[in-house]
Structure 1
Amino acid sequence: MNPDELLRRHRAVMPGWIALYYERPIELVRGEGFKVWDSEGNEYLDFFGGIVTTISGHAVPEIVEVVRSQAERIFHSSTLYLIRNQILLAEKLVELSPISGENKVFFVGSGSEANEAALLFATTYRNSGEVIALRGSYHGGSYGAMSVTGQAPWRATSRSALDVSYAINPHPAYGPLGPEEAAGDVRNLIETATTGHVAAFIAEPIQGVGGFIEPPPGYFRRVKEILDETGILFISDEVQTAFGRTGDHFWGIEAHGVEPDLITMAKGIGNGLAMGAVMGRAEIMDSLSPKLHISTFGGNHLATAGAFANLNFILENGLQHNAREVGGYLKRRLEGIANEHEIVAEVRGRGLMLGVELGDAVAVNRVLELCRERGVLFGKGGLRGSAIRISPPLTVTREAAEEAAGVLESAIAGIGEGGR
């Protein structure tokens, strides 16, 4: 079945709002490391990693073998029974946690579910339905996660079970406020737009769908001081930033010298397996007691076996170090491109989580098309779809980064010369 026929059948049975990249969508059928192939045999450098997910690479033998071995034994039992790999994975995460004291972990099937669960824990623990989120944020496509998402294009409904207030993002794209003034806006929201008894503040260390926007140094530290005055919990949404992707730190929030109360994670934890988790202070995680709860699919045998193997692969192969080294090289290369081409408004991000702001969604779409034609897959994001997102597997080499940067530069040059 060729891609055109597959697209026709896709449109016949799938909702029309499901986004597809490219004027002629492609079907990826095979992957190896940081390379993928489509159904017509075309080879690409994968520099989006399944939306910041394939952190260790495609078809990693050490992970594949563990998943295959587990699949031959048992896929599923539910949390009504002990699951060995679930416990081993939770122990490893707790060992790596930046949250002091006793930590516990709850497993789910996605980043949206992880944020839903974190909001449930926070609102139950604090006995409050009020939450503060950042403008430009994205926390998932489920009902509750969507309600704390600060981007109109990603909110299918304005309805919510939560009372949400949105703080100003301290980035030039959202206004002129610096870190101290923007933190003051959080205080002002607490004092004016809430009852004063807020459950949680939720934020991404680097906004993913927002276009890889990072708050300036000092912002989160000042916000945390304000939150601590009344006991408001800090939820760090690490669905895209965790597991060494930002290079300098294992968890994205560590770059800001702040200790959150809850961390949510997904994407990279499973390297493509449907997997997510919430980790946090034990008293918060236990706050649903004495009620009884289960998870049918969260932390199942197959997903936790693969995730545990993936986490060990990241640690044993120094992928965080590679993210820092290759990501640093790639960012410098991108900054050089920005200096040569006026269409590039900003290069931002850390490690192998980099954004190139063009300020024009049409230009971004054209650049992505040109790069695909030349064998590189990038992503896009930003409040208006005006940023290119770059997030290859952390196994990527400097040579591949240089090749991808060269392709990107030639595409940007074409756009700048009127190729739009």
Structure 2
Amino acid sequence: MTDDLWGRHRSVLPDWLALYYDRPLEITHGEGRHVWDAAGNRYLDFFGGILTTMTAHALPEVTKAVAEQAGRIVHSSTLYLNRPMVELAERVAQLSGIPDARVFFTTSGTEANDTALLLATTYRRSNTVLAMRNSYHGRSFSAVGITGNRGWSPTSLSPLQTLYVHGGVRTRGPYAALDDRAFIDACVEDLRDLLGHTRPPAALIAEPVQGVGGFTSPPDGLYAAFREVLHERGALWIADEVQTGWGRTGEHFWGWQAHGRSGPPDIVTFAKGIGNGMSVGGVIARSEIMNCLDANSISTFGGTQITMAAGLANLTYLLEHDLQGNARRVGGLLIERLRAAAAQVPAVREVRGRGLMIGIELTRPGTDEAAPEAAAAVLEAAREGGLLIGKGGGHSTSALRIAPPLSLTVAEAEEGAEILEGALRSIA
């Protein structure tokens, strides 16, 4: 019974290990864009295990690749040549846009960002890191130290000196009233001023679209403008593509490409969707940066054969079926449908997003005050209607996060929008 499992969960797992819903859900299996719980209820999945089930649940091409690889060898570590790892690295390097790219595989986005910070601080001989306000980069000690979201940063202790920059949230903060060009100019001037008061930084790390922060993003071109300022000082640009990579934003394969006039980032981190549920993360960097470490290193579980087989099959399916194009087309329809529905709900402050990465921010009607209780109520109502969504946000968890598998159909998008419209109206 799920209630019994919940009690056992609370007996042996940390109190801070968050669960959704007043009555937590045990998901037992999935297929396509749907999952089932232990009671046999069927749900349309608009969150994909936190943007991780990128293509589809139980995708035959991926499950077959995993089963076949498991029948040969599951694991050997990076101490031995690994054909699936080399093949996936070749494909990722080619897709990255980074010249003379090298790829290092990890088991998660947190570990990928840790590695990127190690590379940047070693390469630049600096422990100063710039990060964005409202950002999230993982749960490790160093990743928490660069996370600009109070709700996900349990300690102020850090091995890094972190300075937080304006610009990740377009519609809040001191520059919100400016037009896009003036907003970018103001953020750039603020960055220049900040850099005038500190030692040269190692890097700026930034999510092109802030994930846990509620799917917020700056105007296109902000990070290109930042990069020009960073380049003057030799600092690196790290693009955290853990949630935005692989075509989820629809318009671009990588989120950084919306800011790409100055070329690709120096370092890109990725994870989540590439494994479609298997534990795959990684770092892409120019060879001179990747090779700057002067000590030995290995990865016991990063790049293991079974996860690489899953990643190869998943990436092949994504490219051959143009799921980036599907995210653009179906995501465009979905966001317009949600904007129309939200226009009738006073608690909705904004519907924003790109492709199949959509956020709905809720506030107390007539104010800009966050309404986490409303977001929690919509989450519950959507579940009752047969739809799973996520939540997040910087000021509090008052933004709904919608990120279905990229193979979402138009009919499923309409079905999910109808359920969500009803859930939103239930709080009106």
What's the TM-score bracket when you normalise by the shorter of the two chains? over 0.9
Q: What CA distance in whole angstroms lies between the structure 2 residues aligned with 1:280 and 1:174? A: 33
Q: What CA distance in whole angstroms lies between the structure 2 residues aligned with 1:235 and 1:119? A: 9
CA contact (8 A) 1:76 1:302 kept: yes
Q: Secondary structure at the match of 1:30?
A: strand
User: In the TM superposition, what are the counterparts of 1:357-368 in structure 2 within 5 Å?
Assistant: 357-359=361-363, 360-368=371-379
State the shift of 1:312 in Å: 0.6
Matching residue of 1:370: 381
The TM-score, its normalising length taken from structure 1, stands at: 0.96
Matching residue of 2:227: 224
State the shift of 1:293 in Å: 1.0
Match of 1:187 among 174, 189, 192: 192
Matching residue of 2:417: 405
Q: What CA distance in whole angstroms lies between the structure 1 residues aligned with 2:342 and 2:4? A: 40
Matching residue of 1:113: 111
Matching residue of 2:142: 144
Q: What CA distance in whole angstroms lies between the structure 1 residues aligned with 2:70 and 2:115? A: 27
The TM-score, its normalising length taken from structure 2, stands at: 0.95
* 1:156-201 CA-partner distances (Å, limit 9, x unpaired): 1111111110012352223325111112222122111x21x21000
* 1:8-48 CA-partner distances (Å, limit 9, x unpaired): 00000001110000000010000001000000000000000
Amino acid at match of 1:75: V
Q: CA RMSD in A?
A: 0.9
Q: What CA distance in whole angstroms lies between the structure 2 residues aligned with 1:319 and 1:61? A: 16
Matching residue of 1:336: 340
User: In the TM superposition, what are the counterparts of 1:246-265 in structure 2 within 5 Å?
Assistant: 246-257=249-260, 258=262, 259-265=264-270
1:215 maps onto 2:218 in alignment: yes
Amino acid at match of 1:67: V
1:311 maps onto 2:311 in alignment: no
Matching residue of 2:166: 168
Q: What CA distance in whole angstroms lies between the structure 2 residues aligned with 1:380 and 1:342? A: 19
Q: What CA distance in whole angstroms lies between the structure 1 residues aligned with 2:6 and 2:220? A: 45
Aligned residues: 411
Q: Secondary structure at the match of 1:389?
A: strand
Matching residue of 1:127: 125
Q: What CA distance in whole angstroms lies between the structure 1 residues aligned with 2:31 and 2:25? A: 17
1:79 maps onto 2:81 in alignment: no
Q: Secondary structure at the match of 1:340?
A: coil
Q: What CA distance in whole angstroms lies between the structure 2 residues aligned with 1:186 and 1:176? A: 13
1:281 maps onto 2:293 in alignment: no
Q: Secondary structure at the match of 1:31?
A: strand
Matching residue of 1:395: 407
Query: Taking every aligned residue pair, what percent have the same amino acid on both sides?
Result: 52
Matching residue of 2:366: none
1:10 maps onto 2:9 in alignment: yes
CA contact (8 A) 1:179 1:217 kept: no
State the shift of 1:230 in Å: 1.0
Q: What CA distance in whole angstroms lies between the structure 1 residues aligned with 2:66 and 2:189? A: 48
CA contact (8 A) 1:242 1:252 kept: yes
Q: What CA distance in whole angstroms lies between the structure 2 residues aligned with 1:334 and 1:179? A: 28
Q: What CA distance in whole angstroms lies between the structure 1 residues aligned with 2:313 and 2:407? A: 15
* 1:301-347 CA-partner distances (Å, limit 9, x unpaired): 11111111111110011100100000000011111112222211101
Q: What CA distance in whole angstroms lies between the structure 1 residues aligned with 2:38 and 2:340? A: 35
Q: What CA distance in whole angstroms lies between the structure 2 residues aligned with 1:277 and 1:71? A: 22
Matching residue of 1:38: 37
CA contact (8 A) 1:263 1:278 kept: yes
1:233 maps onto 2:236 in alignment: yes
CA contact (8 A) 2:103 2:283 kept: yes
Q: Secondary structure at the match of 1:235?
A: strand
Matching residue of 1:52: 51
Q: Secondary structure at the match of 2:252?
A: coil
* 1:59-83 CA-partner distances (Å, limit 9, x unpaired): 0001100000111111111111011
CA contact (8 A) 1:98 1:254 kept: no
Matching residue of 2:367: none
Structure 1 moving runs of 4+ over 3 Å? none
Amino acid at match of 1:300: T
Q: What CA distance in whole angstroms lies between the structure 1 residues aligned with 2:195 and 2:316? A: 41
Q: What CA distance in whole angstroms lies between the structure 1 residues aligned with 2:272 and 2:189? A: 32
Q: What CA distance in whole angstroms lies between the structure 2 residues aligned with 1:86 and 1:4? A: 41
Q: What CA distance in whole angstroms lies between the structure 2 residues aligned with 1:11 and 1:308? A: 37
Match of 2:324 among 314, 320, 323: 320
CA contact (8 A) 2:221 2:258 kept: no
Q: Secondary structure at the match of 2:129?
A: strand
Q: What CA distance in whole angstroms lies between the structure 2 residues aligned with 1:85 and 1:222? A: 38
Q: What CA distance in whole angstroms lies between the structure 1 residues aligned with 2:193 and 2:52? A: 36
Q: Secondary structure at the match of 2:332?
A: helix
Q: What CA distance in whole angstroms lies between the structure 1 residues aligned with 2:92 and 2:418? A: 38
